[in-house]
Chains A and B, each alone.
Chain A
């Protein structure tokens, strides 16, 4: 059955047919037949999640600007659509071209989160593309991975012909050119071609690396084939001002998780929170020019009609001239009734002041992330915030009229005991009771969002143990008991999901058979209605894998990590030094305000960071 006929018959019967139409405003819809290099950019989760991803929309525009190339898109269809595709034996297709994914030259899959690994398996199965890179021949598309997950893709590495580490803007163009040349030469000798690709900066070809294991389970060695780089170094754009993308982003047809346009103020963050992977792998900080950002914001709103603009980055209050920039943008946007928001705020009154100045059009809630309840644990993770800072920030927000405040905390952090968790309760109670200047905060609704700490590769806490499930359960219980109070709403993230995330986060290639088996039984692991921990326990047990070995062990300093052949910029020795400082509770300042900490992320010559003009350090 042709894809067109299939859609004609089935679209009316599935939930949200808008997910599969491909008629979005700003869709390029380039002719499949005429393109020499055809990319399908794939977000392996539901449409409404994938459409909000900034990385893919950047690449979509960059590729489509090339006259000889095209980029189409695909997402993981919802369960009802998956069933219909399978029943009709119709392969997964590009939304705009309606061509089978297997007919594209390149499938570019972003790895944003460990819990999408089974979705990747599903996508490839539905596309009828051989699952393992080693099973593919010249008739199969190249399967390319990217995104933060590429910094330890090992659990799914063998599904990919290659992955790109770091900024993708230049790399996709180089890969496009390489594929074009290869096709012109007849597209033979796939493995030879992949070897050539490995010479492109930032490109990791998993098949060129051999992993061996010791009897105790740890990695014995990672060996690169002759000519393959060791380590593979991530790609870093030095000048973001030359890459203002996307300018004409796709406008989602159905309501998506982030229904807004974003200008990225800067990339990278050097606050140095020791749990934060983004804060390590996206270094160094590279700011964009304020004038370009203003023009970009105007263009984005004019090209989409969106009613909300986000000033995005890992910590927007840190942008050098954030107050003048946000004032100028907010004033302009107010005239056209567009709300301006800042996605992530530090826990201090400067940030609250910033948010308050932006809140001209829409009164939204305020989110702060103190991350840990006690000063001891905050010192361990290098979150340089005191309880007084938090109280001041909340008081400032309350004074500015906010009545809904959301606080993010983590449990299970290294060195944390039950008293530290109790402190989350006491600080929340203190906020409600004392609120503004010691009087109860009338009408304040405090929402606490509790996640579980998962150690991430390339961070100082990559050696740390993740807490066993029963320990997290106890902490959840303490929170539930301690926060039975009017005005406080508690949301605890599924501990089993975080545990699974922990297995993959620092996992190795031996996990793949379990992932494939689990992916053939289910998917959408990030969705609580589909996630099944017993299914995962069975899948892991069937492969003889011990989850606790991956998750709950503190790893010795010299243990070879599955990602040791992948280099994110920050040096391993620096990470270890930070790990020791975490255990000693010693603060590491931000190199934008104090001296260089020699983390290793800046290439030579050192990338110029702008001086902090307004931000209080």
Chain B
């Protein structure tokens, strides 16, 4: 079975769609795309697709992912175009690629999420673990960050976007400027991490 990885962004009003609503919209666009989607078996067949970890409501995103299993060959470029006019405004497909059989599943490599937080003197980057014991909640991370940097107190998630998903901390520096703050959900500590550049 082939797999394709679809990369999408979620901006403007679409940031206010819940994870579930976003999944539904993507599923509908996929059904329209002409891709030969593989379905689960049983009484209530569902498309074989998986999504990157849920985004908190209100947070925009640059690069989220859906992984879909296909039953045959597909015209990926045309599927991308169709999906782009089949989505609510603000959701758009930015990339689509076939996955080699050796490539790990989506859930295996979407371990870290990098968030861009608008600060007083330019953007600040916050990194969170999205799974495992060190998993951190965005709200807690932001609170720690505001205390550290004396950012204006804001309980809301406005203006924040998730810029990328990564398998390891090292990958992060391909996308982010320094400094990057890592919030450890277990120890609840905020630490600065640096790239190897």
Contact = CB atoms under 8 A, between A and B. Distances in A.
B44 interface: yes
Interface stretch (B26-34, B110-118, B120-128, B137-145): B26-34
Interface stretch (A53-61, A202-210, A298-306, A531-539): A298-306
B157 A12 contact: yes
B16 A251 contact: no
Interface string B157-195: 110000000000000000000000000000000000000
Contact of B27 (A24, A253, A305): A305
29 contacts: A11-B13, A11-B58, A12-B58, A12-B157, A17-B57, A18-B17, A18-B21, A21-B14, A21-B88, A23-B13, A23-B88, A23-B89, A23-B90, A25-B88, A251-B28, A253-B21, A253-B88, A255-B21, A255-B24, A301-B31, A302-B32, A304-B28, A305-B29, A305-B31, A307-B28, A307-B31, A336-B31, A337-B47, A363-B44
Interface in B11-55: 13-14, 16-18, 20-21, 24-25, 27-32, 37, 39, 43-45, 47
Given A12-B57, A12-B158, A17-B57, A337 B29 contact: no
A361 interface: yes
B152 to A, nearest CB: 15
Contacts of B16: 11-12, 17-18, 21
A305 B87 CA distance: 10
Given A12-B157, A362-B44, A21 B13 contact: yes
Size class of the contact patch on chain A: 20 to 34
A158 to B, nearest CB: 38
B156 interface: yes
Nearest to B89: A23
Contacts of A302: 32
Contacts of B146: none
A305 B28 contact: yes
A399 B21 CA distance: 37
Given A12-B57, A253-B21, A254-B21, A25 B45 contact: no
A12 B156 contact: yes
A303 B86 CA distance: 8
Interface string B74-112: 000000000000111110000000000000000000000
Interface of B: 13-14, 16-18, 20-21, 24-25, 27-32, 37, 39, 43-45, 47, 57-58, 86-90, 156-158
A305 B13 contact: no
Contact of B18 (A18, A336, A363): A18
A340 B12 CA distance: 35
A337 B45 contact: yes
B30 A24 contact: no
Contacts of A18: 16-18, 21
A24 B90 CA distance: 10
Interface in A279-337: 301-307, 336-337
Given A307-B28, A337-B39, 16 more contacts: A11-B16, A12-B58, A12-B157, A18-B16, A18-B17, A22-B13, A25-B88, A27-B89, A251-B25, A253-B17, A302-B32, A307-B31, A337-B45, A362-B45, A363-B43, A363-B44
A361 B45 contact: yes
Interface string A33-59: 000000000000000000000000000
A304 B21 CA distance: 15
Contacts of A255: 20-21, 24
A303 B29 CA distance: 9
Question: Shortest 3 CB-CB distances between A and B: which pairs?
Answer: A305-B28, A363-B43, A305-B31
Contact of B86 (A23, A25, A307, A362): A25
A303 B28 CA distance: 10
Interface of A: 11-12, 16-18, 21-25, 27, 251, 253-255, 301-307, 336-337, 361-363
Q: Among A11, A21, A254, A301, which residue has the most Cβ atoms of chain B within 10 A?
A: A21
Contacts of A361: 45
A25 B87 contact: yes
Given A255-B24, A304-B28, A362 B43 contact: yes
Q: Among A17, A24, A301, A305, which residue has the most Cβ atoms of chain B within 10 A?
A: A305
Contacts of A251: 25, 28, 88
A23 B14 contact: yes
A361 B44 CA distance: 6
A337 B58 CA distance: 32
A371 B102 CA distance: 59
A403 to B, nearest CB: 11
B30 A305 contact: yes
Contacts of A363: 43-44
A307 B25 CA distance: 12
B57 to A, nearest CB: 7
A27 B21 CA distance: 17
Nearest to B87: A25
Q: Among A12, A255, A336, which residue has the most Cβ atoms of chain B within 10 A?
A: A12
Nearest to B39: A337
Contacts of A21: 13-14, 16-17, 88
A257 to B, nearest CB: 15
Contacts of B157: 12
A80 B157 CA distance: 19
A25 B31 CA distance: 14
A527 B107 CA distance: 40
Contact of B25 (A12, A27, A253, A301): A253
Q: Among B14, B24, B58, B87, which residue has the most Cβ atoms of chain A within 10 A?
A: B24
A95 to B, nearest CB: 11
A361 B88 CA distance: 27
A21 B13 CA distance: 6
B88 A24 contact: yes
Q: Among A16, A23, A336, A363, which residue has the most Cβ atoms of chain B within 10 A?
A: A23
